[in-house]
Structure 1
Amino acid sequence: MRIIIVGAGEVGSSIASSLAQTHEVVVVDRDPERVEELTYSLDVLAKEGDGTSLETLEDAGLSRADLIVASTDVDESNLAICGTAKTVADPFTIARVKNVDLFETWKRSQDAFSVNFMVCSTAITAEEVAQVVGLPLSVDVDRFAHELVQMTEFEIVEGSPLVGQTIREADRTDALTFAAVIRDDDVVIPHGETTFAAGDRVVVIGSPEGVYEFALIAVPDEMPDDVHNVFVVGGSEIGVHVARQLHEQGVDVRLIEQDERRAEEVAELLPGIVVLNNDATDTEFLERENFGKSDTVVTALDNDQKNLMVSLLAKRLGVKRAISVIESEEYRDLFEAVGVDVPVNPQILTGEEIARFTREQIAEKLSFIEDARAEVVEIEVDEESVLTDRTVEESTAELPDGVVIGAIARGDEMVTPRGDTRIRVGDHVIMFVEADVRERVLAAV
């Protein structure tokens, strides 16, 4: 497939990196430095130019393109790119937007704006944060097979009852599979005697109820096993949508916004949610509002430095969990090093969503793990699959090392795979797959 990606920022570069190995990728950007950097760092053809220009798109090979991805930082430019491409050719068009109103308009009439598929970074970020807030210790959550199956990555913190336990000891539910343990940057396929250590991240796949039960087991005594009250700091678009989703989940949400006019706007947008007009670094104000006693604080301010400052203050005041929206992936390690529990990057989430969509022909759905070093993949089993009419034990023997069959969705039921579970045509199989064996696995299944 020939893919033209317009915009070589964090989103565009992430998409290009994910797709370059299996597709012919051309990246277009106005910035000559970005173009030069991509030329040397990825196996792609990088071109300097304005992607809204028909001449630029034609120079990038528009007539032969199967897919156009518009991923600049400007919504209107992305819509213009898709519209321009459709004037002389008929590629499948994907546009990244931040504005939720544009996204809602497109959903009402898909293919509006000459866009075949639209990804709204604000909406998917708010959804990610809301899912993570709902599960203690989770750092990543995704759902498969029409939400019958859930993949969650948990951090095993100091003081967790799981520290020192083996997987065999921790496996207290029939609705869960332990897919991987991430330890010191290594991805380990676990076995029954694998022992949990503080700092491990464990990837589990199972029913939402089974995953939630495991979350409660993993929580230290001093942490809340359920989230009742959350502060959202920042009345940005993402902040507003996070607050709304949490409120709809029954969480007591309060939002802090320093700008008086914006605070008034947010209060109108969020009936039923308390909006506080104040500086979130004012410790006297925070103490009056019992900020430090909240279960979780989500920072969604307009830059990473402010988010870091408020997150650190929240932890110092006693908040159990800090989640921060970050604009630059370069800051992720810093945020985690100083105690921010979950940094969430809208650009990376958007890039993953677009890359995920382009690969749906092979994998119905996938979720990236640890900077794409592994994936959780959902496939539908057909007559040609190596899995057909084999037990899980037999299927695993046919697949490379680095694969775990985590769950099977059969009709409206989830089946927890055991060695003698037989896989049938039509089953949806959710597998953990290490990146270096991905192509071999998908070719077989």
Structure 2
Amino acid sequence: MNIIVLGCGKAGQKIAELLNEENGHNITLIDRRYDVVNDIINHFDIMGVVGDGADVDVLKEAGIETADLLIAVTGSDELNLLASLMAKKLGNCRSIARVRRPEYHKVVNLMKDDLGLAMAINPERAAASEIARILRFPTAIQIDTFAKGRVEILKFKVPEQSPLDGMKVMDIVAKLNCDVLVCGVERASEVFIPGGNFELKSGDLISIVSSIQEGTQFFKKIGIKTNRVKDTLIIGGGGTAYYLAYLLIETGINVKIVEQNPNRCDELLKLLPKATVICGDGTDNRLLIEEGLESAESVVSLTNIDEENVLLSLYAKTKTNGKVVTKINRIAYDRVINSLDLGTTIYPKNITAEYIVRFVRAKKNSLGSQIETMHFILDNKAEALEFRIKDGSPISGISIDSLKLKDNLLIACINRGGKIIIPRGKDVIMPGDTVIVVTLKSGFKDVSDILK
């Protein structure tokens, strides 16, 4: 595909990096900053154009007349929407636009076809949805959903003296009587897609795939709480905080927001009448203690400064046993941040990039299958993809143990008309099924890619 990425901020750079790893794409970047464009094109095998995305000549120079997709992720909603409209007029090119302002979403939905928009993404809303899902199941470090919400991949840490310590993967179903599948293990710096003889240890970060009901039973049997939080303390009152508070209040969770800007506090009080809004410095330890940090069942650090979020979360972990969630904007230091044991870390830029890569791969699918869902898992070292199987697929009508699968790959789940099947060797995939595949390889666009 010929793809133009407009905007070389954190999201634009991450999108360009991920798409560059995929085969068969010609990528061109547009940004006003020469040094940023030059730096990126020196690192990756892509083209760059320096200029304003609202300039017709700049878009033409980038190849808009023959482009298949424009990804507009500048810091301006207006520019992203204008560029999308120009892409349709100049080359009948589909577009993806980052749109942050809530009031624009109604307009976007009304004018999606007129603008040539294939997708509009709000990173703050997407991040809030991820956090809300985590707070529903606070023991999990990461939750990814498939099969229209019927199946989840849940990542958690095996505690000391857990029944799982020393247990082989093949024995879990028999010993715990739970139909779940371990699809990934992180141990120190290593990542595994385990076979049946793989032995779990305390301290491992393991990811399981299961239906919601089976997952709940599994956690109960290994002695891990599954009930959602009753309250949350949000530090920082920006866009993500607003969306998160709205989602949590809708589900009956009590929300308290600490925000420093008095004008923003007034806005939040009007937007969220059921929330408690505290006007004060969220980095003031005494204020946080006074506002119930020690008894909070969850604490979410959502300031606009990564360093503040990291320190606030580290402090919160010394004062409460509640769930701690940290928002991180800068992706470059993710390895260091992940080593700090902050609980759950949310990267809005990664979420945005994940949505876009999933869309691009789905556009390139063959006749045999179609990507429905895609998530990066296992510290972003693996992918979990949900394929819809069509007639003529090379894996349909054949038992799983007869398929010649690539290494470091697992068929983790089959969804057959809403019936969730954790597959064993003799199970057969049929047309109409959706199939979840977990792999350490990247770039799969069709289910046939899983075969040797």
TM-score of the alignment, normalized to the shorter chain, above 0.5: yes
Which residue number corresponds to residue 400 of structure 1?
Answer: 406
Which residue number corresponds to residue 3 of structure 2?
Answer: 3
Distance (Å, rounded) in 1 between the aligned partners of 2:269 and 2:114: 31
Equivalent position to 1:341, from 338, 343, 348: 343
Distance (Å, rounded) in 1 between the aligned partners of 2:203 and 2:42: 35
CA-CA distance at 1:378 after TM superposition: 1.0
Which residue number corresponds to residue 434 of structure 1?
Answer: 440
CA change 1:391–1:174 in 2 (3 A) is farther
Structure 2 residue 394 is the aligned partner of structure 1 residue 386: yes
Contact 2:93 2:116 in 1 (8 A): no
Distance (Å, rounded) in 2 between the aligned partners of 1:112 and 1:199: 52
Q: Could you tell me which amino acid in structure 1 is paired with residue 266 of structure 2?
A: E
Which residue number corresponds to residue 40 of structure 1?
Answer: 42
Distance (Å, rounded) in 2 between the aligned partners of 1:444 and 1:188: 17
Measured on the aligned residues, the alpha-carbon RMSD in Å equals: 2.4
SS of equivalent residue, structure 2 residue 345: strand
Q: Deviations over 1:121-163 (max 9, x none)?
A: 1111100111112223323222222222222222335565533
CA change 1:102–1:392 in 2 (3 A) is same
Q: Deviations over 1:47-96 (max 9, x none)?
A: 22222211111111111101111111222221121122223210011101
Q: Deviations over 1:242-297 (max 9, x none)?
A: 11112222322222222222222212211222222232233333333321121210
CA-CA distance at 1:430 after TM superposition: 0.9
CA change 1:209–1:112 in 2 (3 A) is farther
Contact 2:382 2:438 in 1 (8 A): yes
Which residue number corresponds to residue 210 of structure 1?
Answer: 214
Structure 2 residue 415 is the aligned partner of structure 1 residue 413: no
Contact 2:354 2:374 in 1 (8 A): no
Which residue number corresponds to residue 428 of structure 2?
Answer: 422
CA-CA distance at 1:200 after TM superposition: 2.3
Equivalent position to 1:301, from 293, 303, 307: 303
Contact 2:2 2:26 in 1 (8 A): yes
Contact 1:141 1:152 in 2 (8 A): yes
Equivalent position to 2:272, from 270, 278, 298: 270
Structure 2 residue 253 is the aligned partner of structure 1 residue 245: no
Q: Give the alignment of 1:87-106 within 5 angstroms.
A: 87-106=89-108
Structure 2 residue 156 is the aligned partner of structure 1 residue 148: no
Equivalent position to 2:385, from 348, 361, 377: 377
Q: Could you tell me which amino acid in structure 1 is paired with residue 14 of structure 2?
A: S
Structure 2 residue 377 is the aligned partner of structure 1 residue 366: no
Contact 1:235 1:256 in 2 (8 A): yes
CA-CA distance at 1:120 after TM superposition: 0.9
Which residue number corresponds to residue 182 of structure 2?
Answer: 178
Q: Which moved more, 1:348-357 or 1:280-289?
A: 280-289
CA-CA distance at 1:379 after TM superposition: 1.1
Distance (Å, rounded) in 2 between the aligned partners of 1:436 and 1:157: 31
Structure 2 residue 122 is the aligned partner of structure 1 residue 116: no
Contact 1:385 1:444 in 2 (8 A): no
Q: Could you tell me which amino acid in structure 1 is paired with residue 434 of structure 2?
A: H
| Structure 1 spans left out of the alignment, 5+ residues | none
CA change 1:119–1:65 in 2 (3 A) is same
Which residue number corresponds to residue 29 of structure 1?
Answer: 31
CA-CA distance at 1:37 after TM superposition: 2.1
CA-CA distance at 1:219 after TM superposition: 6.0
Distance (Å, rounded) in 2 between the aligned partners of 1:418 and 1:98: 44
Q: Deviations over 1:27-61 (max 9, x none)?
A: 12222222222222222122222222111111111
Distance (Å, rounded) in 1 between the aligned partners of 2:102 and 2:315: 30
SS of equivalent residue, structure 2 residue 359: helix
Alignment coverage as a number of residue pairs: 441
Contact 2:139 2:226 in 1 (8 A): no
Which residue number corresponds to residue 16 of structure 1?
Answer: 16
Q: Deviations over 1:417-445 (max 9, x none)?
A: 11221211111111112225836854467
Which residue number corresponds to residue 188 of structure 1?
Answer: 192
Contact 1:68 1:91 in 2 (8 A): yes
Distance (Å, rounded) in 2 between the aligned partners of 1:437 and 1:378: 13
Distance (Å, rounded) in 1 between the aligned partners of 2:379 and 2:35: 24
CA-CA distance at 1:187 after TM superposition: 2.4
Which residue number corresponds to residue 229 of structure 2?
Answer: 227
Distance (Å, rounded) in 2 between the aligned partners of 1:329 and 1:275: 30
SS of equivalent residue, structure 2 residue 376: strand
Which residue number corresponds to residue 285 of structure 2?
Answer: 283
Distance (Å, rounded) in 2 between the aligned partners of 1:218 and 1:34: 50
CA change 1:441–1:434 in 2 (3 A) is farther
The alignment's TM-score, normalised by the length of structure 2, stands at 0.90
Distance (Å, rounded) in 1 between the aligned partners of 2:101 and 2:161: 42
Distance (Å, rounded) in 1 between the aligned partners of 2:171 and 2:450: 33
CA-CA distance at 1:240 after TM superposition: 1.1
Contact 2:172 2:178 in 1 (8 A): no
Which residue number corresponds to residue 357 of structure 2?
Answer: 355
CA-CA distance at 1:370 after TM superposition: 4.1
Q: Which moved more, 1:51-60 or 1:180-189?
A: 180-189
CA-CA distance at 1:400 after TM superposition: 0.8
Distance (Å, rounded) in 1 between the aligned partners of 2:38 and 2:220: 49
Which residue number corresponds to residue 83 of structure 2?
Answer: 81
Q: Deviations over 1:186-232 (max 9, x none)?
A: 32121233222344222222212223333445666xx7854222111
CA change 1:292–1:96 in 2 (3 A) is same
Distance (Å, rounded) in 1 between the aligned partners of 2:349 and 2:361: 19
CA change 1:390–1:303 in 2 (3 A) is same
